[in-house]
Amino acid sequence: MPPEEKGPIQRVIVAAVSGGPDSVYLLLAKLAREKRTRVVIGHVNYGTRGDESAKDQKLVEYIGKRCRYETEIFVPVKGGMTADTRGASGTRGSFPAGFEKKAREIRYRFLRNLSVNSGAEAIALAHTADDQVETILMRVFEGAGIGGLKGIPRASGDGIVRPILDVWKEDIMDYLKKRKIPYRIDRSNADTRFERNWIRRVLIPLLEERYGKAVKKRIFTLGERFRELDDYLDAEASRWILRNVRSAPKDGRAERKDRNVPSTRKKDSPGDCLFPITLKRSSFARLPTVLRIRILQKISFERLGVAPNERLLATMDRALLSGRPSATWKIGKGFELVNRYEEARFVAALRDRHGKAASKTRRGFEERRTKEEESYPLSGPGKYTLPSMGGTGKTTIVWEGKEKISLSRARRLTAKGDAEVFDEAGLTLPLTVRPLRAGDRIRPFGREAGGNARDGGKKVKEILIDRKIPRDDRWGRPVVCDAKGAILWIPGVLRSARAPVTAETRQTALLRIRSAK
């Protein structure tokens, strides 16, 4: 019986008590010593063991009454789970695959509801150091990473706490026997068809026989080291993400080349951000593998709400290290990982008007069809504000008519790629501005000259690939053409060989371009 306490109750804890030695020890040796704490006992009677299950419930009710603890009993269905746990022969105790998982889901749902209804700040579970060792071994065989090999956490973000995780089973049994405290033994714990029971009753005794009794403590300590390493990796990954991972600005004026992409802000989510999420592939590649995997895991979970398994994380890592410059990988929940030469982006997948992911072929066709309808005339010198093209926002073209310009000054004016100078006498007017289309060709100026007169020049696609311009940035950007449709200038990329400024030029046309992001 817990000691009498003076003063108001400061907190409430729900204790999961099965009647077994571990949960009884948790209740009487740990929680009963907590000052100014109201303990609410939660017990689930699955009814799978007939009278044995009933006796477990009676013991829990007896302990709760003696300790003056509120006790809540939950029976999943009338008659327990007996009908669900009969084997093909109909004999009791022949548990089907998945029974443990189903029972655990029922138990946790009940305990969480009880916690909410009682206003508890935590749910205390009776996992022990032995459970920790068994869990670590199970994770080893499952091929878990560092995050899995650290075992069971002492506390979880959902309010779960495990106060006796560092207490060994033999110490628990000694405590109960010395004080003659009753407890129940679940005979199903001897059934080695369950993986945990096999590890506990078969594998660990073999390990102790081979390596001595201290082997369990060494495995437990290994889990603690993995926990420290996992915390360190998590902190390093967070620091790297903070320094190297960019999201679209929160005002929405972003590098929104990802058409049809919503802001996808999840209210009150820890990874509240806009898309795309971008990182440098070269910086990422210099990191050790284990840190790269953790970074991908954190980005996926915290910002996308995706929980990738080890296989998907490994695929994403390979994609970033050695994937093709414009390759795309689906990573779940409508998100994609897209390579863009030196960058990689996490983006929301494009969708068609029916809400389904658009195929690349259909997507490209629809983009080209829409863009081919756009064409805006430039009738002469002046300022022209044009609609959005290729996700660049509104485009402003300024055409300035000037007298003769020296070649050196022309080079200075055009050095940044946002302006170009032409010999006005060599232009076929009127000029037009339209989006760049797949299949376009240009006669490049200077060293990049290529193609021939018959085909009208070099394929723009080849030039863009040589310049390492990402696929999503290629088509739809504004280009300036003459009256015959020949491309004069692709802003930010190159100009054509048409209407060059020479020593004989008397009148020039200076074009400047600005895109509102």
DSSP 489: E
Q: Tell me the C-alpha distance between 421 and 107, whole Å.
A: 75
The answer on pLDDT for 122 being more than 90 is: yes
C-alpha dihedral (401, 403, 405, 411), degrees to nearest 10: 0
Q: pLDDT of 46-92, one tens digit each?
A: 888 889 999 999 999 999 999 999 999 999 875 445 434 333 333 33
Tokens of 443: 């006669």
Contact indicator for 186, 20 with CB cutoff of 8 Å: yes
Q: pLDDT of 208-245, one tens digit each?
A: 999 999 999 999 999 999 999 999 999 999 999 999 99
- Mean pLDDT for 110-131 is 96
The answer on pLDDT for 414 being more than 70 is: yes
The answer on pLDDT for 320 being more than 90 is: yes
More confident residue, 259 or 65: 65
More confident residue, 516 or 253: 516
Q: What is the pLDDT of residue 325?
A: 79
- Mean pLDDT for 426-442 is 88
The answer on pLDDT for 472 being more than 90 is: no
Q: What is the pLDDT of residue 393?
A: 64
pLDDT band at 2 (very low <50, low <70, confident <90, very high): low
Q: What is the pLDDT of residue 250?
A: 44
Q: What is the pLDDT of residue 9?
A: 73
Q: Tell me the C-alpha distance between 7 and 509, whole Å.
A: 87
Contact indicator for 239, 231 with CB cutoff of 8 Å: no
The type of residue at 497 is A
Q: What is the pLDDT of residue 80?
A: 47
Q: Tell me the C-alpha distance between 172 and 22, whole Å.
A: 7
Query: How remote is the C-alpha of 38 from its chain's centroid?
Result: 39
The answer on pLDDT for 514 being more than 80 is: yes
Of all helices (H) and strands (E), which one includes residue 236?
Answer: helix 215-244
Name the burial class of residue 97, with classes exposed (0-12), middle (13-18) and buried (19+) by CB atoms within 10 angstroms of its CB.
exposed
Tokens of 430: 């009127």
More confident residue, 471 or 55: 55
pLDDT band at 267 (very low <50, low <70, confident <90, very high): very low
More confident residue, 474 or 89: 474
pTM of the model: 0.63
The answer on pLDDT for 437 being more than 70 is: yes
The answer on pLDDT for 164 being more than 70 is: yes
Q: Where are the domains of the chain?
A: 11-216, 245-348, 373-515
Q: What is the pLDDT of residue 478?
A: 87
3-class SS of residue 517:
coil
The answer on pLDDT for 203 being more than 70 is: yes
The answer on pLDDT for 254 being more than 60 is: no
The answer on pLDDT for 404 being more than 70 is: yes
Contact indicator for 126, 60 with CB cutoff of 8 Å: no
Query: What angle is formed at CA 270 by the lines to CA 269 and CA 275, rounded to 5 degrees?
Result: 80
Query: What angle is formed at CA 34 by the lines to CA 28 and CA 37, rounded to 5 degrees?
Result: 105
pLDDT band at 271 (very low <50, low <70, confident <90, very high): very low
Query: How remote is the C-alpha of 168 from its chain's centroid?
Result: 37
Fold observed for domain 11-216: Rossmann fold (3.40.50)
Residues constituting the chain: 517
pLDDT band at 457 (very low <50, low <70, confident <90, very high): confident
The CATH code of the domain at 245-348 is 3.30.465.60
22-36, 203-217, 244-258: lowest mean pLDDT where? 244-258
pLDDT band at 21 (very low <50, low <70, confident <90, very high): very high
- Mean pLDDT for 266-280 is 60
pLDDT band at 327 (very low <50, low <70, confident <90, very high): confident
Query: How remote is the C-alpha of 260 from its chain's centroid?
Result: 21
pLDDT band at 93 (very low <50, low <70, confident <90, very high): very low
Q: pLDDT of 127-146, one tens digit each?
A: 999 999 999 999 999 888 88
Contact indicator for 41, 70 with CB cutoff of 8 Å: yes
The answer on pLDDT for 456 being more than 80 is: no
Average pLDDT, the chain: 82
The answer on pLDDT for 102 being more than 90 is: no
Q: Of 373, 370, 376, which is closest to residue 395 (Cα–Cα)?
A: 376
Contact indicator for 258, 276 with CB cutoff of 8 Å: yes
The answer on pLDDT for 369 being more than 70 is: no
Beta strands in 287-389 (DSSP E): 328-332, 335-340, 343-348, 376-378, 382-386
Which superfamily does CATH assign the domain made up of 373-515 to?
Answer: Phenylalanyl-trna Synthetase, Chain B, domain 3 (3.50.40.10)
The answer on pLDDT for 152 being more than 70 is: yes
- Mean pLDDT for 491-503 is 89
Tokens of 186: 């679940």
Of all helices (H) and strands (E), which one includes residue 398?
Answer: strand 395-402
Q: Tell me the C-alpha distance between 350 and 339, whole Å.
A: 15
Q: Tell me the C-alpha distance between 98 and 106, whole Å.
A: 13
441 beta partners: 459
Percent of the chain with pLDDT over 90: 46
Q: What is the pLDDT of residue 274?
A: 54
Q: Tell me the C-alpha distance between 419 and 512, whole Å.
A: 4
